[in-house]
Structure 1
């Protein structure tokens, strides 16, 4: 089976993480999100892939190339103008054949069993099989109504609260028969949920839902992205290799250097070429991405430090995301903030009580936190 990976979105809701990179290249712990999607495909012997690209496409093409380093055959379908979820797949029709194919979004974290999904699709002789997930709060998702035999009878894309009658949602993972592409014209914008699936339902085409019980999370927002990282660090997502485990709950990439008195309380991931200097303390869940430096006596808890950033001497970072190429000055205090690539000094959140000294004591002794 071949696969189409949708990777052309802007990722505006993930700003500032997407200020210098396309959304699929945002790092999920140790690798870009798209790398983990492709690794999942390969795990299920799906090695022929076309990636739909548009925004900052060269970042994706330069990183993955032809896929040979991953043991895959990767091609690219460039969108000159936005074509929507379905229009982007139609634009990649040249890559596909007469067999069913997988469509998967690149802004999700999942370990859904794609082999079982294909088997279910064949058993049901479906035109479309949609991977579904039961969630606690379906607000903001595409809600799906499924009958007793697994057939999909209704799709409600981001309905109003009064319209929600199900907690089963669309995951953005589909298996399609090639005839579905006949519902589209080339170089035309189409959306699966708003255009193609309703047309198929109107024609009484067999659309089935596969209710998955594995991990799945949409990471289209900062809050969801943060939670996915916490879940990966806590081992809730299968098939993600964090690499070298240097102590209980602490993983490290290549060429990590640390002073002998550094204190690490996992789960923590340290990327390639990270430097942690004398007297620094890190509490998990925390990720320090490639090339970043944590200077002497800095204190970081429950935070994400993006690539090539600098955390100054005796700085305090708590429940924050520091974006790529940022500089946090010495003695700075960054609490519950998104920091873009500008120098920061004495940044104290107005949401938290003062005086700061009392607050810091509470944080260092286990002050409760949650994203």
Structure 2
């Protein structure tokens, strides 16, 4: 079995971060979200991986390399324009050949890996297998409708009136029949070749399409809130440790990891939190569920439930919360304007002024 990892999307919901950064490389717990997917693929025993890349291809190549660090062999598959998930399968036709494959969206995060799903698909010899999960707003996803026996009967991409609350998770398993399906579908009203339409073609033409409803944790890290939530989830299982320097005036509380080359002085860090190599935290507070990447400086500031990318600076800032701060950002306190109060007070008044 092979794997097809899609990493060509523009990441419009994460702008302005993704104006200069591939969305699949935005880190959670100081590691790009794409890396978690590649590790899950390797753990499932899959070694041949095709990575579909677009305008961010150079960044993806630089980060992933030949795949050997993950135990896989990577082939890069350029996609000139993001014309839909089914179009990505068309782009990868020569790489995939007639082998079954797992298609994994590079900005998705699935706790528990895919090993059991891959093994089950191989044993079933079905033509396609989709993962589903219940969501509060299914109109933002591909949506599946099941019959009374639990079989998939209908799929629709981002419907205005969803027929169920079962959203498609960004992991799909396909046999070679999908290649006929992606050639048969036409662009949707969004101008894309939808993978949901291709799977519907398989259903309509009598192919065996199965599903599993995921009860564990899954996130599409397409927006800031979801990125922060995935960061929180990963940090909850953080292995604490101090490889850097922490002075006697500092306090570490809970699961905190200080990477090699990082320094903490006169500061309080409450975990789970990770401080990247080369970063200096001085006279500051870093609160729970915060990831600070490498070579940052945080001075006389407070930050929690946030992600800070490399080479950024925070100085004199209180308090930063629920934030995604990009690379080489400088965040400082603005000069405080002079306070002035104007009153017309009657006799015997009593007034309290905050100072």
* TM-score of the superposed pair, with normalisation by structure 1: 0.78
1:179 aligned residue: 177
1:315 aligned residue: 301
8 Å CA contact 1:17, 1:324 repeated in 2: no
Q: 3-state SS of the aligned residue for 1:178?
A: coil
Deviation (angstroms), 1:281: 0.9
1:155 aligned residue: 155
Deviation (angstroms), 1:143: 2.2
Q: Is the alpha carbon distance of 1:323 and 1:175 closer, same or farther for their aligned partners in structure 2, counting shifts above 3 Å? A: same
In structure 1, the gaps of 5 or more residues are: 236-241, 349-357, 359-371
Deviation (angstroms), 1:87: 0.8
8 Å CA contact 2:181, 2:199 repeated in 1: no
Q: 3-state SS of the aligned residue for 1:311?
A: strand
Q: 3-state SS of the aligned residue for 1:55?
A: coil
Query: Which stretch of structure 1 is more off in the superposition, 262-271 or 220-229?
Result: 262-271
Query: Could you list the per-position Cα deviations for residues 76-103 of structure 1 after superposition, in whole angstroms to 9, with x for gaps in the alignment?
Result: 1011222321211221111113221110
Q: 3-state SS of the aligned residue for 1:344?
A: strand
Deviation (angstroms), 1:164: 3.7
Of the two, which has the highest radius of gyration? Answer: 2
Q: Is the alpha carbon distance of 1:116 and 1:53 closer, same or farther for their aligned partners in structure 2, counting shifts above 3 Å? A: same
- Distance in 2, matches of 1:262 and 1:298, equals 9
In structure 2, the gaps of 5 or more residues are: 336-353
Deviation (angstroms), 1:56: 2.1
Deviation (angstroms), 1:136: 5.3
Instruction: Tell me the C-alpha RMSD between the 2 structures.
Output: 2.8
1:139-288 aligned within 5 A: 140-160=140-160, 163-185=161-183, 190-193=193-196, 195-235=197-237, 245=239, 250-251=240-241, 256-276=244-264, 278-288=265-275
Query: Could you list the per-position Cα deviations for residues 35-80 of structure 1 after superposition, in whole angstroms to 9, with x for gaps in the alignment?
Result: 1111111111111111111132122212222222332111110112
In the alignment of these two chains, the number of paired residues is: 327
Q: Is the alpha carbon distance of 1:319 and 1:216 closer, same or farther for their aligned partners in structure 2, counting shifts above 3 Å? A: closer
Q: 3-state SS of the aligned residue for 2:229?
A: helix
8 Å CA contact 2:228, 2:306 repeated in 1: no
8 Å CA contact 1:52, 1:89 repeated in 2: no
8 Å CA contact 1:334, 1:347 repeated in 2: no
2:317 aligned residue: 332
1:118 aligned residue: 118
Deviation (angstroms), 1:224: 1.1
8 Å CA contact 1:30, 1:271 repeated in 2: no
Q: 3-state SS of the aligned residue for 1:332?
A: coil
